Structure 1
Amino acid sequence: MRATTDCCCHTSFSLPLLEALHLNESLNRLLSAEARSAAIKRALACREKLQQCLKCLTPPQPFGLQELYIKEGILCPLSVNGSCILFEARPIRCRTNGGSTLDPLFLESVMGELSRLSQETFLVLAGQFPRGTGIYSSLIDTVSGKFIQTYFHLMARTKNQS
């Protein structure tokens, strides 16, 4: 099933570890090798475009990352011809921006629980809780696979700090 709207495809957000792992697993399980490779290429192109846009902001502009996505037309790497190629496995944030709305308190509760479960998952993998505010990765880094490298570096830093 594919999305009939791409409202959520023009936004920037981060995923907690557990949701990033689920999305990565869905990419590998639900997409053909060709579709997965194309999504990774789109994610790398998104990251490159974003980095170029950020370099051009001198002095830094008052708008945030979200506005930059809209202004520069940066599109989610999972969007193809106005539809999500992982509609059934899309992140919670996409589900709330894509036409169906969730109660904000419910969404906050779900995101809090995902964050807590992500912390526990990290504990199982690294042997201790991560330091800092949480463990998140961007949607672009999740689709490209770079999030795995980021988490391995975080696990190494966490182990070295003990």
Structure 2
Amino acid sequence: ATGHAPMSYDELDAIRAQGIGAIVNLCGEFCDLHEIEDSSGFDVYYLPVVDEHAPDLEAMERALDWMDEAIYLDKKVLVHCRMGHGRTGTFIAAYLLRRGFDFKAAERTMKGRKAVPATYDQRRFLKKYGKQVGPLQTAAPRIDNRPATAVDTVITAYHYLLARFDEVWPAAEECCGRDDHPCCGRPFDLQLIESMHLSQVINRQLKQKKRQEVIDRAFALAGRLKELHQLHPGLAKEQIAAKAKGEDLTCPLLEEGACLVFTDRPPRCRYWGHAADDERLATLQLAIDGLSRQAYRTLTGQEPPAAPLCFSSADTISGKFVELYFRAMLGRTE
């Protein structure tokens, strides 16, 4: 999305209501707006550019790298300068050139829009940049850098499943991950659809710096769990956690006593404390198993293995579960 600089908290709220979670701020004249946007919960990249001028090439490349990552992680991004015209249009045109459009194709794509390069300096910069990156020759250029997948419909079904069970089990006043965290020190396993959903939530909702901190903690936890597995072979994660009292096995998503993805935490966390023999838990688990198998078929075109495909919470949070999934698909378990 493109637009003008938000000038009030109401405008920031309106941006958030559109599902936008990331902002590229090009305003060189507002020295604190990017800080306000950041403190309002947006993931912000600040690239100050003087009005009617083009950005520094190396600085712009870093900003484009950041936006590439944000789009790949399925975040909605707003690019803005003060009025949403020349600087915004120049940045968007540069992104199109980077994605394989030639200069004329980029112009056609942006024709009729408010955000377009407005000065000779900006157009000269884009022509120079277009020659540097070159147009895509082997395939039609695309704005979106994310691979298309039909599995989104399965994840949507998983959302509806959780919403239905949330109605059955309304949240208590004290919930694990908000007011208390009795389950957050015990590593656990997730099925494929749960891992895919949690990974998507982390990518979309956490700011870049916070996301990297969480991933680093997850890798550290996975390493310690591997050591404990070697000390206690054959034991499940819950059993290892019971034996390893005194070990810090805290969930990487727990920070200052609260879950960073509280509203989207996995079923194991959101329904913690319910009796293990509750028939509703068995019904929920059966539905999760079915959606996981459906996701596997959608992704691979193959029948899933007989046993449920599970991944540790640490591997899910770090993103390593994707590698483990491909190993399982190829029949490799080591």
Task: Provide the C-alpha distance between the structure 1 equivalents of 2:314 and 2:247, rounded to a whole number of angstroms.
Answer: 15
Task: Provide the C-alpha distance between the structure 1 equivalents of 2:234 and 2:301, rounded to a whole number of angstroms.
Answer: 39
Aligned residues: 153
Question: What residue number does 1:142 align with?
Answer: 316
Task: Provide the C-alpha distance between the structure 1 equivalents of 2:268 and 2:244, rounded to a whole number of angstroms.
Answer: 16
Question: What residue number does 2:302 align with?
Answer: 128
Alignment partner for residue 54 of structure 1, among 229, 237, 249? 229
Q: Which amino acid aligns with 2:226?
A: Q
* TM-superposed deviation, 1:78: 0.7
For the 8 Å contact 1:20–1:137, the answer to whether it is kept is yes
Q: Aligned in 2, Cα 1:40/1:69: closer, same or farther, shift over 3 Å?
A: farther
Task: Provide the C-alpha distance between the structure 1 equivalents of 2:257 and 2:264, rounded to a whole number of angstroms.
Answer: 17
Alignment partner for residue 282 of structure 2, among 81, 105, 108? 108
Question: What residue number does 1:94 align with?
Answer: 269
Name which structure has the greater RCO, CA cutoff 8 Å, separation 6+: 1
Task: Provide the C-alpha distance between the structure 1 equivalents of 2:254 and 2:282, rounded to a whole number of angstroms.
Answer: 25
Q: Which amino acid aligns with 2:286?
A: G
Structure 1 segments unaligned to the other structure (5+ residues): none
Q: Which has the higher helix share?
A: 1
Q: Which amino acid aligns with 1:13?
A: F
SS of residue matched to 1:15: strand
Question: What residue number does 1:67 align with?
Answer: 242
Alignment partner for residue 76 of structure 1, among 251, 261, 264? 251
Q: Aligned in 2, Cα 1:157/1:60: closer, same or farther, shift over 3 Å?
A: closer
Task: Report % sequence identity.
Answer: 32
For the 8 Å contact 2:241–2:249, the answer to whether it is kept is no
Question: What residue number does 1:37 align with?
Answer: 212
* TM-superposed deviation, 1:6: 1.3
The structure whose Rg is larger is 2
Structure 2 segments unaligned to the other structure (5+ residues): 1-176
TM-score, normalising length: structure 2: 0.42
The one-character-per-residue Cα deviations of 1:91-141 (angstroms, maximum 9, x if unpaired) are 0000122x6x47821122111101111101101111122223111111111
Task: Provide the C-alpha distance between the structure 1 equivalents of 2:193 and 2:231, rounded to a whole number of angstroms.
Answer: 34
For the 8 Å contact 2:203–2:211, the answer to whether it is kept is yes
Q: Which amino acid aligns with 1:114?
A: I
* TM-superposed deviation, 1:144: 0.6
For the 8 Å contact 2:187–2:249, the answer to whether it is kept is no
* TM-superposed deviation, 1:71: 4.4
SS of residue matched to 2:187: coil
Deviates more, 1:63-72 or 1:9-18: 63-72
Task: Provide the C-alpha distance between the structure 2 equivalents of 1:89 and 1:40, rounded to a whole number of angstroms.
Answer: 17
Task: Provide the C-alpha distance between the structure 1 equivalents of 2:242 and 2:283, rounded to a whole number of angstroms.
Answer: 26
Question: What residue number does 1:23 align with?
Answer: 198
SS of residue matched to 2:184: helix
